[in-house]
Amino acid sequence: MAKNDIITSALKQHFGFDTFKGQQRAIIESLVSGHDTFVLMPTGGGKSLCYQLPSLMMEGTAIVISPLIALMKNQVDAMRNFSDTDHVAHFLNSSLSRADIEAVKSDVEKGITKLLYVAPESLTKEENIEFLRKVKISFYAIDEAHCISEWGHDFRPEYRNIRPIINQIDKPGDRRPVIALTATATPKVQHDIQKNLAMTEANVFKSSFNRPNLYYEVRPKTKDVDKELVRFIKQNEGKSGIVYCLSRKKVEELAEMLVVNDIKALPYHAGMDAATRSANQDAFILENVDVIVATIAFGMGIDKPDVRFVIHYDIPKSLDGYYQETGRAGRDGGEGQCITFYSYKDIQKLEKFMQGRPIAEQEIGRQLLLETSAYAESSVCRRKTLMHYFGEDYEPDNCGNCDNCLNPKKQVDAKDELCAVIETITALKEKFKAEYIVKVLIGKDNNEIKSYGHDALEQFGAYDPADERRLVAVIRQAVIAGYLDKDIENYGLLKVTKKGADFLKKPTTFKIVEDADFDEDEDVAVMKGGASGAVDPELYSILKDLRKKIAKLHELPPYVIFQDPSLEAMATTYPISLEELQNIPGVGSGKAKRYGEEFVKVIKRHVEENEIERPEDIRVRSVANKSKVKIAIIQAIDRKVPLDELAESKGLEFDELLDEIEAIVYSGTKININYFLDEVLDEERQEEIFDYFKESESDDIEKAIEALDNEYSEEEIRLVRIRFLSEMAN
């Protein structure tokens, strides 16, 4: 019987399938023939079969090195389901008792275990190395192989030791083959993996990263993000979905918020005890709940083919992570919606988290973050950007299944800008990153540019600072089009390709779409506004006049009564009772009672006179805990707890605590922070800021800093503004 027929027969016998998917057969043939094999296959492509089937066909036990205990358990259970014995597959990790470990070793020594899953940490233990030396090994499989590379999205230092340990285990003259598998790897990461595992001569099998059934969309993360999330999930009722967050705290909060809004949801993160985590995972797989809210710890190796949506509530740290997490949607080839909420503020937060790490690690992390924000802000086809990132060409300019392609923006010719970019990169001898090139072109007069003498370049200041966004878009799209190359290994230095050099000699049209403008201030507590945000400009204008009248009566600046975004919301959702008015952002029960009566009357009259059908807007019920945090802050301030200590006790940055306090006073609650203010700012300086807000038409902090001649820090002005609002408005 030909080898092909043997492999197909084994597939039918052990797994019940008649045919292989994609490159599975060629990969299995390579491994069975004793060759090192490198497999780059997107999530859902059937990677695990590439080592599970060979393990059953070859003599000895296959050692599968895998980073996640949950993944091991799932795969062992799956293998046992296909076999008539539980002894066919085992795992060896920290979750086992001493007696369990002895039972596993006994089965392996008897030769009845074909697959042994080992955590990299367990592999390094001397007793396990000694044990494996005595075992007949068929091959080694390294799953989630991107963990080897510092440039991978989930770098684990213990993965760097795998090759030296394999060398210790292998018998002299009998080097067993290695198969390395990953669902996500840029060319740089792929090279890193092969080099580290000493398998540069391996047979490489690279499947396309394109998942045509997945729909990609990036939405701005605004103050209404929770409402959008609830609305989206309710529109997809009964479908399975995953919501990814970066912090454990946010996972708990969001899961609770979804539950109080009648959505069957459970949390999942590494801080939970193993039994709860496992139970929540099983509830999702068995469809007892529709939604899992999780950190990235969730989903690796989870074989649930019908996940219909993956939502990133927080932007991921890298495009590798984003691709792998979105890849958990639509693994059966059916619908898979991938929605990401993006705010530049989240990127800044992630950069802050990197502080204190080694400089090289920070630089790598920053480069990966830059790629992520570039993807989010770009107006180019999402699929094309992702494929390019993973070293794959995607020919069509319109994939027809992402937000940018379904709502294409107008293209503009950027031939001159591209020529200027190429000339500047060449003049700078290809030694600088994109941000620096843009700074030179817009004539940024900073110390770095002066120290290099680059302010004397012909290209310096060739463009206006207002052109910065367009120049950034030109560089991003020129990289995708192949005119420029980004040297990732050198932290993103830009190089001019042959195609780019040819373009400069004979320029042709170069059409680009300008990047989306994600306002970085959209989600802060003190919001900026204007009639642009209101659905009904006529009502907005009426409410503004009313606010002015009431402000005059109370001798207060108008913004103290209600902020512009609150008026915008009133002119959009038409609250006609005090209870409904309290649901408007920035209007708490205090303000509703104090000033709300006249506003409600005016809105009601406007609705009746114009026969307006009020929108049935989703009212997101908030979790008691959220108000508990606010109550705890108010109580702590009543007890005169210093604000810096209060921030620390609540696990908040100081500016995040100020956000919370501002939200409290803006919605009408009176608080007294004078005990803290008096410690940090003398009375005279406080009064100067206080008087400014009394006279000012705006509560804008930047305007205040400027008007007060930059004599005060942002924190000082915010603290006095809290005192002012509390005393004057509440």
Which numeric CATH code is attached to 531-609?
1.10.150.80
Looking at the chain, the whole-number percentage of residues with pLDDT higher than 70 is 89
Q: Which pLDDT score is estimated for 628? A: 67
Pairing type for strands 511-513 and 411-413 reads: antiparallel
CB burial readout 349-361, b (16+ within 10 A) else e = bbeeebeeeeeee
Token reading at 538: 């006529």
pLDDT in tens, 56-115: 899 999 999 987 655 666 666 666 665 666 678 888 877 778 888 888 888 888 888 889
Using alpha carbons, list the distances in angstroms from residue 579 to 121, 223, 395, 490, 600.
57, 20, 55, 58, 10
Instruction: Output DSSP code: residue 287.
Output: T
CB burial readout 705-716, b (16+ within 10 A) else e = beeeeeebeeeb
d(CA 330, CA 211): 9
Task: Give the confidence band of 569 by pLDDT, cuts at 50, 70, 90.
Answer: confident
Q: Provide the residue type at 315 as one letter.
A: I
Pairing type for strands 307-312 and 336-342 reads: parallel
d(CA 118, CA 93): 6
Tracing tokens 């913004």 back to the chain, one arrives at 559
Mean pLDDT score, 122-140: 90
Q: Pick the more confident residue, 36 or 558.
A: 36
* Count of positions (residues) in the chain: 730
- Angle formed by the axes of helices 359-377 and 344-354, nearest 10°: 170
Tracing tokens 């207060």 back to the chain, one arrives at 556
Contact 543, 567 (CB under 8 A): yes
The DSSP-derived string for 710-730 is T-S-HHHHHHHHHHHHHHHH-
CA dihedral of residues 478, 480, 484, 485 (deg, nearest 10):
160
Q: Does domain 214-405 have CATH number 3.90.1200.10?
A: no
Q: State the alpha helices, DSSP H only, in 111-186.
A: 120-123, 126-133, 162-169
Q: Pick the more confident residue, 565 or 174.
A: 174
Using alpha carbons, list the distances in angstroms from residue 51 to 66, 203, 258, 356.
13, 15, 39, 40
The pairs formed by 284-288 with CB atoms below 8 angstroms and a separation of 24 or more are 284/240, 287/240, 288/264
DSSP 3-state of 220:
strand
Instruction: Output DSSP code: residue 241.
Output: E
Task: Give the confidence band of 594 by pLDDT, cuts at 50, 70, 90.
Answer: confident
Q: Provide the residue type at 522 as one letter.
A: E
List, in sequence order, every residue forming a beta bridge with 175; answer none if it has no partner: none
Architecture of domain 409-513: Orthogonal Bundle (1.10)
pLDDT in tens, 411-462: 889 999 999 999 999 999 999 999 999 999 999 888 889 889 998 999 999 9
Task: Give the confidence band of 489 by pLDDT, cuts at 50, 70, 90.
Answer: low
Dihedral class, residue 240 (left if φ above 0, else alpha if ψ from -120 to 50, else beta):
beta
Q: Which pLDDT score is estimated for 36? A: 95
Token reading at 171: 């018998």
pLDDT at 404 over 80: yes
Contact 686, 720 (CB under 8 A): yes
Residue partners of 652: CB distance under 8 A and separation at least 6? 660
Map 597-647 to HEC letters.
HHHHHHHHHHHHHCCCCCCCCCCCCCCHHHHHHHHHHHHHHHCCCCHHHHH
Instruction: Output DSSP code: residue 150.
Output: T
Cα diameter, the chain: 97
Number of H helices, E strands in the chain: 34, 17
Structural domain boundaries of the chain?
Answer: 3-206, 214-405, 409-513, 531-609, 624-729
| Least confident piece of the model among 39-43, 53-57, 94-98, 362-366 | 94-98
Mean pLDDT score, 463-472: 90
d(CA 122, CA 183): 23
Fold of 3-206: Rossmann fold (3.40.50)
Instruction: Output DSSP code: residue 175.
Output: P
Residue partners of 217: CB distance under 8 A and separation at least 6? 337, 338, 339, 340, 382, 402, 403
Question: Are the folds of 3-206 and 214-405 the same?
Answer: yes
d(CA 246, CA 251): 8
d(CA 9, CA 16): 9
Contact 577, 602 (CB under 8 A): no
Which numeric CATH code is attached to 624-729?
1.10.10.1390
Contact 719, 658 (CB under 8 A): yes
Tracing tokens 């300019």 back to the chain, one arrives at 397
Q: Which pLDDT score is estimated for 530? A: 38
- Whether the full predicted model's pTM is greater than 0.75, yes or no, is no
Q: What angle do CA 497, 434, 387 make, to 5 degrees?
A: 65
Token reading at 50: 């590439």
> How many Cβ atoms sit within 10 Å of the Cβ of residue 433?
18
